Each structure stands twice: as structure tokens, then as C-alpha cells.
Structure 1
């Protein structure tokens, strides 16, 4: 069985497509034959050593890559009753230190990290949903805003930001979306009420649209103090990457630490969210996927097909 791994940190050239033993599911686990696996910024940070430098990932002999996956169940561990062999599913591998993760021909996941694939959701595109949608949903939980409140989403045209816009609108929030200058039509289609282009001065533009500042922000673009300056005193900001800015003006600053959640993922997958695909590549073209993601400008996720 082939799987993407790294044995040392560095550029895309350290990615290795290795032949590994077929994984065996343990108690409470399922094995999934992979249809598609997404490439996310966390994969680049794993491969480059950035996570290790931040103290989140020790240097290991072998480190697996890949968080999001779609596929079909092909083996059940002892005690698993909620799934059947041959069932289409999607799931999330949220542990950093595993030697085998989702960018592989087959992967073992805890059953509570897996969700049934709903009818009508494309099985390839579905691989772009778990990490982004769960991160957005859990960030909105931390923002703790009531219906009618105003929310700034930075990076609103990206994977996490796009899902945050959709979920916030469905929760009854009024969304101000900050994104690239050419992304106005996209974020409005996702439901944003106000669009702020990247070329504008963020806080000034937001406060012009929402006098006094928004009630909260999901900072998917990691703008930190610039995003916080658009939030009213006593409001909230949730950082998607990094620790976030200091909680000036009595604001509440939190960081979302993504965790797998099969039941929540099932609800998100059935909610009609729009996973966007920037392109598909074979598993052995992972280095090209890393280079394309690092270059920026993608709208949606690159998916690897075993």
C-alpha cells in the first residue's frame, strides 16, 4: 500500500511515496479505502518543519501527511457497529504524530472521526470538506454570537473562510467578508452582506459598514491586530492559525484547535455546504500540489487521488 510520508523536514522534495504495510483497524476503528485526500496548509507546515519549530510535532522517523479524506469503508475493527464494509464515508485524521495519515491508498481512522457520505455529495469533492468545515464550525462556537450579531470573516474566499461565511449566515449572523479584490461576487454568493477587498484599509472599511465595529471576527487570514481593530470593544475574535492578537479593549480572543467530530461532520456534510475544488492530482504529484498551494491564490482545495 502506498502512502505519503516524510522522514526529514524540508521542501517538497522530501515528500516520499512509500510502500507500507496495510494498516489494520483496532478496536473502535475503521479502515477506509481512499477516494481523495485534500492538501491543506497544515500539510505544508508538517513537511517544512514549521510545526516542529512551534513545538507541536517532534522529530520522528516517519511522519504521515493528510487530514481530510473521502472513501469507502473496507474493514471494521472490533466493536464498530455504526458502519458497514463498502459504505461511502468522509473523515478527519487529526493527530499530528501518526506515521500513516489520509494521503494514502488506505487509512485507519477512529470510527467517531468518520461520517457517512450523504447522497448527492460528490465523493471526490467531499474530501475538501472535513477540516475546513469543522474548523469553521468550531470557530463559530468559540465566537459565541447570537443571531442578528455582526461577524467579520477574513480570508472569506478560502476554504475555512468560505465555510465560516456559509455557516454564519445560516446561524442568523450578518457577515462582513474580507477577501481578495476579485472575490466580491464569490463571497456574496456564499451569503456575505458586506464585502471588503484586500486593498482597502480593513478596520476603516468594516467600521464604515458597521459603525462601532463588528461583534466578532473569525480570522481565517491570520491578520491578527488588523482584524481585531475592526471588532468593537468587548467583542470576540477567533484565530484560525497562531495564537491571535492581545485582547485589547476588553475583547475576548480565542484560538480554534480543530478536533475530529464524526457526528458534527455528518451534520455539516448533510447541510448542503459547497466544497470547492481547485484541482485534482495523482498521489505521486504531491510535491506539485505543495508548490501550488504555497504559491497562493487558490480558491478551494487541491485533492490527491490515489
Structure 2
């Protein structure tokens, strides 16, 4: 089968196709025929070498790309009882140092890294759930706050931020969202009660809406100290990228969300998508053989929703 890999680090032009054997599932694993794979910033960070420089990926001669997958089960390994060939599934590959990712015709995942796909959305839309929605969910888990707490979400118009707003609202939090002025309507549609346009003196403007500061912040936009200053003393703050954690001033507990595969949680997210609580957003779809173009568009920025690679060539 054909797959997209990286043999040298750099810009989108370093992506290349390679012919490799169709992988076989081992004990407790499932092989998925890929229908759609999400294109995420972490893919660009892998390709460029940022994750290698940050010590997250060890030096490798070949790296696969693609964390998100939606498709159908093609084969199961020994010991797998919850899935069978033909099942529509979504899944997450959470080991970035492997030689094969979801940018391929087939991918093998542990059975506990997949879940039944949502019934009411397309495979392309479902492919945006694993990495982005799981990241938002696991970040909210780190807050460990009661319903009624006030949570600030920066980058609320982004893929992770939008899911974070919707999931926070579903948990009974009062959501304060930060995004560009043009994104106010959709962000309020995700569930934000208070909208603060992106710009200077963010903390002052948030505190004018929430005197004393918010109980916690999910800083998906990596604003750092600007967002931390909007959090109340002894509040909570979650950061979403290596090296982006601000100094934990005023007794604020700063945590980093490190995404991990979780099939049970993915199943819950699929249900929320079917219930309309989570609404996947697709910026565009491209065939796998246009992966370079997809990464060029990702680098250009300005996307609302995720790009997805479809119809992989097996």
C-alpha cells in the first residue's frame, strides 16, 4: 500500500509517498481501512522537526504522519472481541515516533484506541473528533471543577477550542470565550455565554465581565501570561503545547494536557456528536495524494475547522 512519510525534516515539500506492506494486527489490535485522516498542527510539528527538537520524538530515519482516523475495521488480532470486520470506527494513533500513521491506506491501532464511529456524521467529519475532541475532554478533566465554575477558553474558534467550549458547556460550566471578532456568532453557538474579542489587555477585559477572574483557563491559543492574568488566585490553567506553560503565579495550578488514546472516551464523544452537542467542522477535503497541498494550506493559516485527507490509495 502507499503511505505518506517523512525521511527528512522541513517544509511541506519533504512529504513523500512510499510503498509498504499492508500492516498486520497483533494481539489486541485492529487494522482499520482508512476513509479519512485529519490534518493537524501536530503533523506539521512532526514534519518540521519541532517535536524532535523539543525532545518529544527521538531522531528517526522514517516518520509516519496522521493521528486521526475514521474508517472501517478490516481485520482483528487475537483477543479482540469488541470489534469485527466491517465496523465503522474512529481512532487515535498517539505514538508520534512510529513509521506509519493515518496518512495511509490502512493503519493498525490497539483495540482500546478506537470506538464505534458516530452514526449521524460522515467519515470525514468523524475524523476530526479523536485528537481534537479528546484533547479538549482530557484538558477539562484536569480542571477538576464543579458545575457552575467559570472557564475561559482561548482560541475558541479553533478545532480544539471549539470542542472545548461545547464540552465545557455540556459539563455545566459558564464559558468565557476568546476569539477574533468575526467569530463571535459561531463561538456563541458552541455554547459560550461571554465573548471577549482577541486583542490587547485581555485579562482586564475578561475581568470586567467576571470580577475577580475566572476559575480556570484552557489556553488553546497559547497566550500564556496574558490568559493566566485573567484567572483568579489559586485557579486552574491548562496549556496545550510543550514549552508554553507560564509561571504559576498567585497559586494558580498550571497543568499540561498530554493527549492519550482512550477508546471509551471516544465512544462518549461519538455519542455527543450524534446528539448534536459536538458539531465537527471541515475546512476542506483533499485526496491523500495532495498531502503536500494540505500542509501548505495548514501553514498558511486562517482555517476554520480541520482539513481532511480522503480516499487513501491502498
Question: Fold conserved (TM > 0.5)?
Answer: yes
Describe the SS at the equivalent of 1:142.
helix
Aligned to 2:109: 109
Written as runs of structure 1 = structure 2, the 5 A alignment for 1:219-230 is 219-230=219-230
**CA displacement 1:227-250 (0-9 Å, x = unmatched):** 100001110100011341010001
CA distance in 2, matches of 1:81, 1:149: 40
Aligned to 2:251: 250
Contact residue 118 and residue 126 of structure 2 kept, 8 A:
no
The alignment yields a C-alpha RMSD, in angstroms, of 0.8
**CA displacement 1:15-36 (0-9 Å, x = unmatched):** 0111111100000000000000
CA distance in 2, matches of 1:73, 1:159: 26
Matched, 1:234 2:234: yes
Aligned to 1:179: 179
Written as runs of structure 1 = structure 2, the 5 A alignment for 1:1-306 is 1-243=1-243, 244-272=245-273, 273-305=278-310, 306=312
**CA displacement 1:53-105 (0-9 Å, x = unmatched):** 00111221210000000000001011111001011000000001110111111
Describe the SS at the equivalent of 2:45.
helix
CA distance in 2, matches of 1:202, 1:145: 23
**CA displacement 1:257-293 (0-9 Å, x = unmatched):** 0000001000111112111100001111111111111
Moved over 4 A (4+): none
CA distance in 2, matches of 1:160, 1:123: 18
CA distance in 2, matches of 1:242, 1:174: 27
* TM-score between the two structures when normalised by the length of structure 1: 0.98
Q: Which runs of 5+ in 1 are unaligned?
A: none
CA distance in 1, matches of 2:108, 2:47: 21
Describe the SS at the equivalent of 1:291.
helix
Describe the SS at the equivalent of 2:43.
helix
Report the Cα offset of residue 200 of structure 1.
4.7
Q: Which runs of 5+ in 2 are unaligned?
A: none
Name the count of aligned residue pairs.
306
